[in-house]
């Protein structure tokens, strides 16, 4: 029972991604939220689950009555939701039918660097890439998106992004909403601007990149969701380039935050607002009574995101958007409580850390340097626990994302992080002047040849070079020459 996508809108499905076949709906009408289909897979004799993704161009009716040239995986925009079990081995066949190189990065995934899909794993136009690994991390809402050096914003903005859900036995045993597309609903939030002819307006970036004036959820604007189950779990991804969201409801009702970037929290937290910077995820459980309607809204960002009032205006911090209407319809089953305990979170002991590193974010640089595909910024040792101090020395907003590892936030400006920042994370917002300390531990995968990335996840900043690379090595192992199939500038 998946909710149907509006007629003619191919979200991650359809036989031919290049087909220009969208049917016009009546302009100005609200449409049901498209639910990205679950990616089809087959399991081979060795137990490996195989998926196929194809990046290609198409046309999508994002705004009712307008056709937009878009890119997608297995369809015209976004991609299917990949779903696999902790402990399972997965393998992908990824074809690039675009006219230019791209990559596919598994955001939030712990996996070998050669399959990470960063800027070194280029898939040429017409090319194929076949990564494979075993999933070894807890149930969570991860995502996948391109990461070509200097072009990530454009590739994601045109529509290349999808969710990657990891399941595990502990989470399946919990009494929480879990029927995909019914009471467990993916919600990819993005912002876009359009020209009069319906095409994306990719001009006039702000100092934090492209900001849109139209909210797009799972690939369409002006969407609603029928809530048939009394409560609904929304798995929210901020898939925008540079915009922050501060999500809540007009009546200031509380809802339960149950998970952040890399999995469940220890217990549900009743909150009225959740802020997400680009790349971050949150899973919330919201009650919508039958017959009642409410709207998920993005309110102005608290404290203007920490930037000056004139910059706050330029960076969209004061904007208020309706994200999606939730319509309570006759309830099939209702649930009044959530389990008090959700997950046991591993806690690293920062006093056991053998390495500390500092990362200063300033002027499109990290520690005074821009990304260089030929430079390894540091070498880490597998097994080591590290403490990182990340400081935003700009007046601009930044955030910070690390590949391969899930970190825990130790403190924000010296203070214990608020409850919603106490789960496992891979991306954290760093307001101007702020200092965030995180603890992390390298495990399992080493490679002297392929690096992982760390960067600001405001995609224009990343493209401008707010990124660096590191190797994870065995003790005593030496770095080997990097392998690159992409010409350097």
Binding stretches for ligand C2O (CB under 6 A): 105, 107, 145, 147, 279, 401, 403, 453, 455, 457
Q: Which is nearer to ligand C2O, 107 or 155 (CB)?
A: 107
Q: Which is nearer to Cu ion, 200 or 400 (CB)?
A: 400
Picking from 160, 25, 159, the residue whose alpha carbon sits closest to that of residue 105 is 160
Contact yes or no for 92/53 (Cβ under 8 A): yes
| Residue of closest CB approach to ligand C2O | 107
Partner from ligand C2O, Cu ion, none contacting 401, C-beta within 5 to 8 A by type: ligand C2O
Q: Give the angle subtended at the CA of 169 by the CAs of 166 and 170, to the nearest 5°.
A: 100
Q: Which is nearer to ligand C2O, 61 or 261 (CB)?
A: 261
- Assess 109 for contact with Cu ion (CB under 5 A): no
Burial of 271 (0-12, 13-18, 19+ CB in 10 A): middle
Q: What is the DSSP string of 286-325?
A: EE--TT-EEEEEEPPPGGGGGS-HHHHHHTTTT--EEEEE
Stretch that binds Cu ion, among 23-31, 242-250, 440-448, 457-465 (CB under 5 A): 457-465
Q: Which is nearer to ligand C2O, 233 or 401 (CB)?
A: 401
Q: Which of residues 389-418 bind Cu ion (CB under 5 A)?
A: 398
Q: Which is nearer to ligand C2O, 273 or 455 (CB)?
A: 455
Partner from ligand C2O, Cu ion, none contacting 327, C-beta within 5 to 8 A by type: none
- Assess 120 for contact with Cu ion (CB under 5 A): no
Q: Which is nearer to ligand C2O, 319 or 404 (CB)?
A: 404
Contact yes or no for 451/118 (Cβ under 8 A): yes
Contacts with 190 (C-beta within 8 Å, 6 or more apart), sequence order: 161, 212, 215, 216, 217, 239, 240
Token code pair at residue 237: 């991804």
Partner from ligand C2O, Cu ion, none contacting 461, C-beta within 5 to 8 A by type: Cu ion
Burial of 296 (0-12, 13-18, 19+ CB in 10 A): buried
Contact yes or no for 417/437 (Cβ under 8 A): no
Q: Helix H segments across 44-188? A: 152-157, 169-172
Token code pair at residue 326: 């939730």
Partner from ligand C2O, Cu ion, none contacting 455, C-beta within 5 to 8 A by type: ligand C2O
- Assess 458 for contact with Cu ion (CB under 5 A): yes
Q: CB of 398: closest distance to Cu ion in angstroms?
A: 3
- Assess 461 for contact with Cu ion (CB under 5 A): yes
Among 22, 456, 467, 472, binds Cu ion (CB under 5 A): 456
Q: CB of 462: closest distance to ligand C2O in angstroms?
A: 7
Q: Which is nearer to ligand C2O, 155 or 437 (CB)?
A: 155
Give dist(CA 19, CA 21) in Å, integer.
6
């Amino acid at each position: 029972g998946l909710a149907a996508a509006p007629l003619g809108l191919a979200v991650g499905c359809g036989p031919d991604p290049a087909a220009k076949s969208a049917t016009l709906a009546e302009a100005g009408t609200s449409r049901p939220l498209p639910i990205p289909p679950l990616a089809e897979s087959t399991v081979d004799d060795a137990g490996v689950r195989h998926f196929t993704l194809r990046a290609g161009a198409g046309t999508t009716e994002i705004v009712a009555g307008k056709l937009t040239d878009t890119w997608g995986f297995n369809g015209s925009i976004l991609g299917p939701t990949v779903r696999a079990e902790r402990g399972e081995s997965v393998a992908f066949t990824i074809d690039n039918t675009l006219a230019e190189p791209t990559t596919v990065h598994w955001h939030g995934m712990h996996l070998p660097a050669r399959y990470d899909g960063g800027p070194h794993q280029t898939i040429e136009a017409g090319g194929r890439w076949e990564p494979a690994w075993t999933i070894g991390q807890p149930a969570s809402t991860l995502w996948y998106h391109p990461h070509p050096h200097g072009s990530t914003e454009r590739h994601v903005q045109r529509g290349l992004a999808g969710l990657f859900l990891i399941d595990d036995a502990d989470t399946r045993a919990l009494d929480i909403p879990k029927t995909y597309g019914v009471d467990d609903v993916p919600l990819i939030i993005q912002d876009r601007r359009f020209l009069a002819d319906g095409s994306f307006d990719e001009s006039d970036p702000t100092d934090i990149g492209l900001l849109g004036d139209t909210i797009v959820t799972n690939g369409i604007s002006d969407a609603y969701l029928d809530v048939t189950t009394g409560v609904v779990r929304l798995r929210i991804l901020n898939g925008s380039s540079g915009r922050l969201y501060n999500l809540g409801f007009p009546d200031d009702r509380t809802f339960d935050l149950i998970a952040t970037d890399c999995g469940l929290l220890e217990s549900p937290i009743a909150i009225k607002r959740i802020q997400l910077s680009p790349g971050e995820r949150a899973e919330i459980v919201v009650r919508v009574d039958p017959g009642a309607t409410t709207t998920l809204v993005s309110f102005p960002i608290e404290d203007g995101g920490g930037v000056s009032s004139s910059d706050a205006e330029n960076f969209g911090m004061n904007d208020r958007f309706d994200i999606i209407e939730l319509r309570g319809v006759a309830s099939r089953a209702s649930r009044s409580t959530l389990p008090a305990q959700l997950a046991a979170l591993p806690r690293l002991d920062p006093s056991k850390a053998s390495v500390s590193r500092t990362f200063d974010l300033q002027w499109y640089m990290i520690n005074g340097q821009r990304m260089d595909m030929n430079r390894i910024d540091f070498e880490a040792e597998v097994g080591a626990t590290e403490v990182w101090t990340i400081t935003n020395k700009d007046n601009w907003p930044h955030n910070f994302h690390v590949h391969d590892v899930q970190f825990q936030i130790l403190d924000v400006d010296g203070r214990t992080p608020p409850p919603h920042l106490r789960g496992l994370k891979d991306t954290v917002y760093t307001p101007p002047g702020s200092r965030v300390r995180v603890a992390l531990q390298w495990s399992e995968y080493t490679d002297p040849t392929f690096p992982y990335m760390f960067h600001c996840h405001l995609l224009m900043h990343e493209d401008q070079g707010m990124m660096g690379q590191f190797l994870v090595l065995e003790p005593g192992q030496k770095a080997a020459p990097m392998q690159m199939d992409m010409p350097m500038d």
